[in-house]
Each structure stands twice: as C-alpha cells, then as structure tokens.
Chains A and B, each alone.
Chain A
Amino acid sequence: MKFRSPLRGPWLTSVLGVALLAALPLVIVTGLLDYVAYGPGQSIPGDVGLLHLPAIDWPTRPSWLFRLTQGVHVGLGLVLVPVVLAKLWSVIPRLFAWPPVKSPAHALERATLLMLVGGILFEIVTGLMNIQYDYAFGFSFYTAHYIGAWVFIAGLVAHVVLKLPVARRALRTRSLRAELRVPTTAPEPVDDGLVATDPAPPTMSRRGALALVGGGALFVATITAGQTLGGPLRDLAVLLPRGREDFPINRTAAAAAIEPTATGAAWRLALGDRSFSRVDLLRLPQHTARLPIACVEGWSTVQDWTGVRLRDLAALAGVPSPGSAFVESLDAGPFGRATLSAGQVLDPDALLALQVNGADLSPDHGYPARVIVPALPGVHCTKWVRSITFRDA
C-alpha cells in the first residue's frame, strides 16, 4: 500500500494530537464522575478495585450538575469523533510499517497502541450504540464502557509519555497561526514514515484540512447538542432519539410492564407501616420546582415538577433526619429501585412528583408518582414509586 497524501506529516499529526490531548481528559473525568454520581453501592460495574474516583456524596447543587457532567461526557465525546478519525488517518502509514516490531520495547509500545486505538474506537462504538439503544454487542454496556475506558486510559498515558516530546519538536517546525493565515501545500520534510516520499498533487491546503476537521466537529455538534441543550436546538438533533421530543420518555410503562390496575385507585404509597393514596398525597403541602432531568446517555430536559417534598414524607414516616432513603418502583427491572443519600432526601426541591407542568404525570413519565431530585442521575429518579423506606442516620 502506498500513502501519497502530501498533507501527512508529524506537524499535522501533532496538531490533531494536541487537540485531542486537550479535550479527552474532560471526556474521561466526566465519565468517571458519572460512575461516582450513581452513589455508593449503585455504580455499575460494582467491583472495580482502585479504578474509580474517590466516592463522594453526590451534591444536589447546582441542580444542573449531572446535566453538565454527562452532557459534556457524551456531547464532547461525539464532537471528537471526526478529530479521532482524522488523527487515525494521519498516522495510518505507521500501522503498515515494516518490520512490525523493531525491539522488545517497540513490541510493548505496539501493545499499548492497540489499547489506545482499540480503546478509543471501542468507547466510541459502544457509546454511540448505547445512546441509540442498539445493544447488538450482547454484553453489559456499563461494564464494557467502564473497563474499556481504563484500558484506553492506560494506552493514552503510555502514548502521551512516549510521544509528547516528539510532538513538541514537530510543533516547533511550523507556526499554527501562520498556517491558518496562508494556505500551504508543500509536504513536511520527509521523516521516518508519515510524510509521503512520492506525494500526490495537492488538492487541499493544510489550513483546509484543519478547517475540514474543525468543520466536522462543528457539524457533529450541530446535529447532537440539542439533545442536551434543548430549546430550538433540539430539532437539529435529527438523527438522535432524544432530538424528537422536548420531554423524552425513558423506558415506557409498557416496557416496564406497569399494569394500569396497579396504578389506578388501588395504588398506595407505602411509607414504613403507613400507606397513602394519591388523593392523600395531593392533600399534603405541594411544592413546585423547575428542575432538569438528565440521563447518562447525555440528553436532558428541564420541566416544572410538582409534588410532595421528600423531607416532608420522611417526617411523616417518623424519620425527620434520615441517613438515606430506599425507593422502590412497581417496575421490576434493573432500575426499579434506588437509594438516595441524606442530602438528596433533604434538598428543598427533592420531590415525590405527582404532576409535571401543571398536569398529572403521564403513565410513561411515572404516574401515579415519581422521584425528582436536583442533579440526581435520571435513572435514579424512580418512576411508578410504590414504597419509600427512610432509614435512620
């Protein structure tokens, strides 16, 4: 195979590399934060040894915290896809370099490169499939995406330590500002593999190539950011499931096998040994809060929720200063239960919501009652609640 693009060279590769080096840590840290946000004992996968950020009590303020961290994780991850593809394009001649292994250390480096390239592509593919609800891979998304991330991180650290000095040298050979001002097409000086020895005639300047990659990132941002930001931008997220509705449903009542009889007049909320009908709950003091709900898949929406404060329910249950609350749903699925921390129960905007935007919750949004807590991962805002157990501190 002969690589003939006159654009390939250590300078271009280094520019793309530095862009990724600036952005990827944000994707990594927000992803690791999400693991912590699920709360102790509820993160998936369960046992990861030392491979997690220190466990913290996930705060409820600012209320858009999870919307921000997960929006950045998914949104920036998507925007980087064209940059990653361009970076891989820029170094592809190295893949076919001969001999494949020059020394024992080189063999180790190639192993770390497989971790790096396989890792980032694996994270992109599983992440993209997850936000589109395609589980053709047949393994746990959470486990694979989390462990895969650590394999990628290991590959990335090795690559940065080994290549940062090389990139620094390469970046000094040309000025980025000058390249952006004047289009140039002459190949970089021939090196040991990236620069074509027999280049094809140029069809695009270096500046054009950078604009193409940046434009690709902007294009992806345009057709994806709406799932997180909402508003008029949501309509531009034309290829994403969460661009289609301003108040998306996560898991329908039908999918959760919620029987209409179980949520009708016979429904009761169990609080310890007391039980409340929906009418009972509507007679309690109602509180309205405008809060975002954000999903691990990066999408979010802001709505006006009305219901009973969780701390009022805790007082009614005889546990006015609870250490935690265990919420159970009529949904028997994996996210049919969640444990909330004391801070999450006691926040003045933490609600057992009965209504949204002034109307009763729809069956798909959790009728007769659902939890909504500021900055709580959406999947823990349990729908179709049947019991809450407040536990002493």
Chain B
Amino acid sequence: MVTLAQRVGAAPAQLATLVACLALAAYAAFFLLGDPALLRMLVWFAAAAVVHDLVIFPLYAGADRLLTAVLPGPKVNYLRVPALGAGLALLMFWPGIVRQGEVTHLAATGLDQEPYLGRWLVLCAVLFGASAVVFGARVGLRRLRA
C-alpha cells in the first residue's frame, strides 16, 4: 500500500518545514510588491544562479579538463592553483578591474578605478610566480636527493 507520505515524497515534519520556509520567503518578497525595480531584482536573483551553473561552472570545468588533458597527474596543480586564485580575484573584484561604476566610485571615494587592472595583473604574476618557485624548489630538492 502506498502511504500518503510516500505519495507526497516526504515525512510530515519535512513537508511542514518546506512549506513554512516557502511561506517565509513569500512573506519577505511581499515587501517588494509595488517596488518599480522588483522585476530587475527577480532577474538578478535568477541570473545569479543561472550564470553560475550554466556559464561560470562550465567555463572553469572546461578549462580544467583542457589543462588536465595537457598536463595529466598532480603536476597540473602548479597551474591550477594559481589560475583558480587569479580567477577568483577577477570574479570578486570584476567591477574595479573592468572599471564598471567609475562615476559612483569617484563620487564615493574621490579616486578613479585606474589602478585595479594593473594590480590584478601583478597579483596574477605573484600567484603564478610563487607556484613556479615551489615547483622549482621541489624539483631541485628531488634532484639533490637522487
């Protein structure tokens, strides 16, 4: 016999939690009714998830597959780790690096966004450089021991 819980797919307590949490979100969203920017907010909310899942993830996963195909084995990490650091910094500090919001940045701080791109490039050089040094040191040590 199929129980109600089986048909619904959850125990009553779980179902109650889901309904209560959806109700809380609906209550929060209620305060946006009448906000002329509501549609924009919804678009950005959905886009945040979609862009991550369907653009950023495939991009970095694809790049990683290429990288591991060219450099199989753990050696790939000497490129992978600094690349992830550089990518993370680019993603998080994108507005400054691509100079998006120049006017509000200037009004808020009295400074322009000119330095960020160069600083990010220096950061990339530091990350890849440090990785190269670690790689070189490890290879050197192994040779010394051999």
Partners in one complex: yes
Chain B residues contacting A118 (CB-CB under 8 Å) are: 45-46, 48-49
B25 and A238 contact, CB distance less than 8 A: no
A47 to B25, CA, bound (A): 16
Of the residues A105, A129, A140, contact of B37 by C-beta under 8 Å: A140
Q: Provided the pairs A105-B14, A143-B32, A157-B17 are in contact, do residues A212 and B84 lie with their beta carbons within 8 angstroms?
A: yes
Closest B residue to A140 using CB positions: B37
Q: Is A147 within 8 A of B110, CB to CB? A: no
Max count, chain A CB within 10 A of own CB: residue among B101, B108, B123: B108
Q: A223 within 8 Å of B by Cβ? A: yes
Given contacts A161-B17, A239-B116, is CB(A95)–CB(B53) below 8 Å?
A: yes
Contact, CB under 8 Å: B97 / A239: yes
B24 interface contact, C-beta 8 A:
yes
A151 touching B29, Cβ below 8 Å: yes
A158 and B18 form a contact (CB under 8 A)? yes
When distances are taken between beta carbons in the complex, the residues of chain B under 8 Å from A108 are 15, 18-19, 22
Residues in A lying within 8 Å of B, measured CB to CB: 45, 47-51, 78, 81-82, 85, 88-89, 92, 95, 102-106, 108-109, 111-112, 114-115, 117-119, 121-122, 124-126, 128-129, 132-140, 143-144, 147-148, 150-151, 153-155, 157-158, 161-162, 200-204, 208, 212, 215-216, 219-220, 223, 238-242, 244-245, 248-252, 254-255, 364
B74:A200 contact, CB within 8 angstroms: no
Chain B residue numbers with a CB within 8 Å of A252 are 106-110
CA distance A122 to B7 in the complex (A): 34
| B81–A212 CB distance below 8 A | yes
CA distance A104 to B8 in the complex (A): 5
Classify the interface of chain A: helix, strand, loop or mixed. Answer: helix
Set B14, B45, B85, B101: member contacting A134, Cβ < 8 A: B101
User: Contact between A151 and B28 (Cβ–Cβ < 8 Å)?
Assistant: yes
CB-CB under 8 A from B108, the residues of chain A are 133, 241, 249-252, 255
Closest beta carbon of chain B to A184's beta carbon, Å: 14
Q: Are B21 and A248 in contact (CB under 8 A)?
A: no
Q: Which residues of A contact B100 (CB under 8 A)?
A: 134, 136
Q: Determine the residue in chain A with the shortest Cβ distance to B93.
A: A239
Q: Which 10 A-B pairs have the closest CB atoms?
A: A103-B9, A134-B101, A105-B10, A255-B107, A139-B37, A134-B95, A121-B48, A105-B9, A150-B28, A158-B21
**In the bound complex, CA of A47 to CA of B31 (Å):** 7
Task: List 17 interface pairs A-B (beta carbons < 8 Å), by A numbering.
Answer: A81-B88, A103-B8, A104-B7, A118-B49, A119-B45, A132-B93, A132-B95, A133-B101, A133-B109, A134-B95, A137-B40, A158-B17, A202-B74, A203-B77, A249-B110, A251-B108, A252-B109
**Interface residue? B125 (CB, 8 A):** no
Chain B residues within an 8 Å CB radius of A139: 35, 37, 40-41, 44
Most buried by B among A126, A134, A215: A134
In whole angstroms, how far apart are the Cα atoms of A233 and B21 in the complex? 41
CB distance from B133 to the nearest CB of A (A): 16
Q: Is B77 touching A204 in the complex (CB atoms < 8 A)?
A: yes
Within 8 Å CB of A111, what residues of B? 22
20 additional A-B residue pairs with CB within 8 Å, beyond A139-B44, A241-B96: A78-B92, A108-B19, A112-B18, A117-B49, A117-B52, A121-B52, A124-B48, A132-B101, A147-B41, A148-B41, A151-B29, A154-B28, A161-B17, A203-B76, A216-B88, A219-B88, A244-B111, A251-B107, A251-B108, A252-B107
- Nearest CB of chain B from residue A186's CB, rounded to whole Å: 15
Q: How far apart are B81's CB and chain A's nearest CB, in angstroms?
A: 7
- Measured CB to CB, the nearest residue on chain B to A201 is B72
Contact partners of A219 in chain B: CB under 8 A? 85, 88
Task: Check A154/B101 contact, CB under 8 A, given A95-B53, A132-B93, A240-B93.
Answer: no
Given A121-B52, A208-B77, the answer on whether A133 and B104 have CB atoms closer than 8 Å is: yes
Task: Report the bound CA distance from A115 to B100 in whole Å.
Answer: 28
CA A240 – CA B111 in complex, angstroms?
A: 12
